[in-house]
Structure 1
Amino acid sequence: MALSRAERCLALLLRLLSRACLALLGLAAPATPRAVPPPRRSLLLLPARQLAKRLRQRQVTCVEVVEAYIERIREVNPLINAVVKDRFEEALQEARQVDKLLAESPGEDYLEEKFPFLGVPITVKEAFSLHGMPNTSGLVNRRNVIATSDATVVSRLKQAGAIPLGVTNCSELCMWYESSNRVYGRTNNPYDLQRIVGGSSGGEGGVLAAACSVIGVGSDIGGSIRMPAFFNGVFGHKPTTGVVPNDGQFPIAQGVRTSFLCTGPMCRYAEDLEPMLRVMAGPGVHKLKLNEKVSLEKIKFLCMDHDGGSVFVSPVDKEILQAQKKVVEYLERDLGVQVQCVSIHKMKYSFQIWSAMMSSNDSDGQDAQVFTDLLGDHGKPVWPLWELMKWLVGMSSHTLPAIALGLTEKLVKLNLGANAKLVSMGKSLQAEMETLLGPDGVLLYPSHPTVAPRHHSPLCMPFNFAYTAIFNVLGLPVTQCPLGLSSEGLPLGIQLVAASYNDHLTLAVARYLEEAFGGWVLPGKA
């Protein structure tokens, strides 16, 4: 399917606009890379499961654990700006209640079954409702909104014993891959403060990588869990669509987008993904086959190292390709499997397919959500051209990426004929992928074409999120797995993709690769 003249013009126009806007932003010359200081407390380096076990065995008090994380956040957050509102007093009070429960010695097995995360600190993306915390999603119009209840996944994790420390930053309305907004400002990457943390769950990625939290709640409609996990060298899982509830977050998906939005776990350690997913999924967890034993030698491994040459995205960095190649070589050497290299032609149109399907009507004919309506937050819709003029003179309450997305949305809606063809192509690609992966397949695919970019620079490569976004509209489960650091000291990683409801396969491979390649690496470590 050749690119239309309108699509080529759109790509060129947006690239020229982004470069002009970068000049107006006055992008400074890169400063010397500076990472956050390493944590001093060994408690901060334990996986959630091990931390919960130590608490149940009364090897450490919950107050000690929570105080250690509070101290770490206070030390590092001024540098990274990831936690935008804390609840430290409430967390300490809940920690004392946990210690009181543990003192009553109800039995370790009972506690593990009923409260698998008893006393474990957790952070939550600010887009989710957490009682008493702000719920703005970076929108200035919502700066005074305070949640009066908990989102379902937050409630389930609290019932499992987790103690929320606060809420973390995101991009404006969760629709851009740099976490910066006019309410809280910009979040910085713990490995290099001049780099982005990704978006929209960027605050979660940053807070986990900086050892300010051990597990976190994120959401993903175009890669909003996996890109931050990649840029920050941690694990993130986008579950099979429709299993983990999405309610209690703003903005909530409507129409066809309910099939694309996913809520999932973000963790520093692979071993915490599955137990966290079990809690978040609740009664629907049986669909994910997490109780099935996985034999890695019997998995059909597939590999694709680029999207096929789209004009919309950057070429994949050599170091990312080299890291993926090392994974292939390790799998073949250690497991004795043959990794099949594949070329999926339709992946070349990942951005166009995602964009068209996000803008399509659902099966009942309900119109797709309009981003400019969301920017107005149930008030008067935002006129993006006028908002851009206001931004140029410093009078807009919106970020430039949000304004640009509003402009792009208007252009996409003008090309209805091409959209219908792309939606059809997306459905065909979904069937092709399900057949290709089958009941035992895992695809290795880049998480992003570049390592964490410098601040503002995503404006020059606005469509690079296509590497993650395509799997949202295909509904497939995907786990982002870290693979060490680049020569610049920035995280590398890979996406592990399986057919629908085969989440157990990607989670098992993530645990295996963590053991082989080291998983999360302390920021600043060469």
Structure 2
Amino acid sequence: MNRLLTLSGTKLAEMIRKREVSSVEVVEAHIRQIEKVNPVINAMVKDRFEEARVEAKAADEKIKTTPVDQLPPFHGVPCTIKEAFALKGMPNVSGLPARRGIISQEDATGVARYKQAGAIPLGVTNTSELCMWYESSNKVYGRSNNAYNPRRIVGGSSGGEGAVISAGGSPFGLGADVGGSIRMPAFFNGVFGHKPTGGLVPNTGQYPYVTEEAARFLCTGPLARKAEDLWPLLKILAGPDGKDPGCVKFELKDPATVKISELEVVSVEDNGSQPVSRDLREAQKKVAAYLAGKGARVRTAR
């Protein structure tokens, strides 16, 4: 596999800024990987490859005339977007047959912020119907398949994102989560995902859009092939946009300043609903033991 397909978005951005690699090379490598794997995993449901190629060339030209410290953090780095988010010129169907033919006329807030950070969207990825199931399958786009074993599912509702990132087609993407729609695809596909605190990131521009009580639980957030991208992506996404009334201003604290000794950690080995394998139990115990060794107050909930 091309080494570029194994690196974090943060690392790729650094290499592009230093002109160790061009945005065109990085974007083209990911496009070729998607073209290779998508017939099997059916993760990307609509691409914008030609537009991305043009944008990558423009990104490389900008580097020639712009001081490095004035470039955005993910300048020239490709990404992917959950189809439930509006990406201008792309479908915004969310797996619902009644919405066939609907094309976004503007970008969702999260998409716009990724673009402002220099990221180049390659296309939109599959979801469950109306983003309401833990398998990304619908009557518009069909079922997405796991890159590790195509007979297995990718989770949902941001399953297309989990699958395409897992298969090397994207360093990071944009998803949303109410009851596991970022967390499950990240887990099922062996990538990283973060559901932010409710109200931290605007949900503007996604379908279905929830209101009132349920809005507190819908959270827009990042998925990535490397954990190191989650924090910089969250910083990009966070903050009010003047459109989502549920989004408020938070003071984001740098994780590097967090004192583990001041944390209380609850370890839930089994929620009583689904069986948990011994390997996963043991892995969780190791994490709990590590945190306890660093001074955290760890307790197990049963």
Q: If the TM-score is normalised by the length of the shorter chain, which range does it land in?
A: over 0.9
2:93 is equivalent to residue 136 of structure 1: yes
Q: Secondary structure at the match of 1:238?
A: coil
What letter is aligned with 1:320? L
Structure 1 residues 156 and 75, CA, compared in 2 at 3 Å: closer, same or farther? same
Question: How far, CA to CA, are the matches of 1:213 and 1:120 in structure 2?
Answer: 9
Q: Write the distance in 2 (CA, Å) between the matches of 1:214 and 1:292.
A: 23
2:64 is matched with: 103
Higher helix share: 1
Partners in 1 of 2:206 and 2:143 — Cα distance?
21
- Against the structure 1 CA distance between its residues 100 and 140, is the aligned structure 2 distance closer, same or farther, given a 3 Å change threshold? same
* Counterpart among 324, 340, 351 of residue 284 in structure 2: 324
Alignment of 1:4-19 (within 5 A): none
- Inter-partner Cα distance in structure 2 for 1:122 and 1:329: 35
- Among 267, 281, 284, the residue aligned to 1:303: 267
* Cα contact 1:69–1:121 (8 A) shared by 2: yes
Aligned to 1:164: 121
Question: Larger C-alpha radius of gyration, 1 or 2?
Answer: 1
Equivalent residues of 2:262, 2:295 under 8 A apart = no
Give the 3-state SS of the residue equivalent to 1:127 in structure 2. Answer: coil
Shift of residue 184 of structure 1?
Answer: 0.6
Counterpart amino acid of residue 125 in structure 2: T
Aligned equivalent of 1:234:
191
Distance 1:63 1:304 in 2: 45
Residue in structure 2 matched with residue 214 of structure 1 by the alignment: 171
Structure 2: distance between partners of 1:103 and 1:285: 36
Equivalent residue runs for 1:110-189 within 5 Å: 110-111=70-71, 115-189=72-146
What's the TM-score once normalised by structure 2's chain length? Answer: 0.93
1:79 has 2:36 as partner: no
User: Share of identical aligned residues, percent?
Assistant: 56
1:210-258 CA-to-partner distances (Å, cap 9, x unmatched) read: 1100110001111101010110111111111111000101110023211
8 A contact 1:153–1:280 mirrored in 2 = yes
Structure 1 SS opposite 2:193: strand
**What do the CA deviations read for 1:145-171 (whole angstroms, capped 9, x no partner)?**
111100011001101100000000000
* Distance (Å, rounded) in 1 between the aligned partners of 2:15 and 2:239: 25
2:29 to 68, 73, 78: 68
Query: Any idea what SS the aligned residue of 1:173 has?
Result: helix
Name the SS for the 1:241 alignment partner: coil
- Separation of aligned partners in 2, 1:325 and 1:282: 35
Q: What is the SS of the residue equivalent to 1:122?
A: strand
Contact 1:243–1:287 (CA under 8 A) maintained in structure 2: no
Q: CA RMSD in A?
A: 1.6
CA distance in 2, matches of 1:282, 1:50: 25
TM-score, with structure 1 as normaliser: 0.54
Displacement of 1:297 in angstroms is: 3.8
Partners in 2 of 1:292 and 1:73 — Cα distance?
Answer: 35
Shift of 1:89: 0.1
**How far has the Cα of 1:125 moved from its partner?**
0.3
Counterparts of 1:233-252 in structure 2, within 5 Å, are 233-252=190-209
**Aligned residues of 2:46 and 2:124 also touching (Cα < 8 A):** yes
Distance 2:233 2:249 in 1: 11
The alpha carbon displacement at 1:176 in A equals: 0.4
In 2, the alpha carbon distance for the partners of 1:273 and 1:337 equals 22
Shift of 1:207: 0.7
Q: C-alpha separation between the residues in 2 aligned to 1:271 and 1:129?
A: 26
Mapped partners of 2:3, 2:102: distance in 1: 37
The answer on 1:340 being equivalent to 2:299 is: yes
Q: Give the equivalent residue in structure 1 for 2:231.
A: 274
- Rounded to whole Å, the distance in 2 between the matches of 1:179 and 1:58 is 38
The equivalent position to 1:50 in structure 2, one of 4, 7, 11, is 11
SS in 2 for 1:340: strand
Displacement of 1:317 in angstroms is: 2.5
How big is each residue's C-alpha offset from its partner over 1:53-77, in whole Å with a ceiling of 9 and x where there is no partner?
A: 1111111111111000001001111
User: How far did 1:291 drift?
Assistant: 6.8
Aligned length: 295
CA distance in 2, matches of 1:133, 1:81: 17
Q: Which runs of 5+ in 2 are unaligned?
A: 241-247
Runs of 5+ consecutive residues of structure 1 not aligned to the other structure: 1-39, 344-526
Note the alpha carbon deviations across 1:342-384, whole angstroms, 9 max, x for none. Answer: 34xxxxxxxxxxxxxxxxxxxxxxxxxxxxxxxxxxxxxxxxx
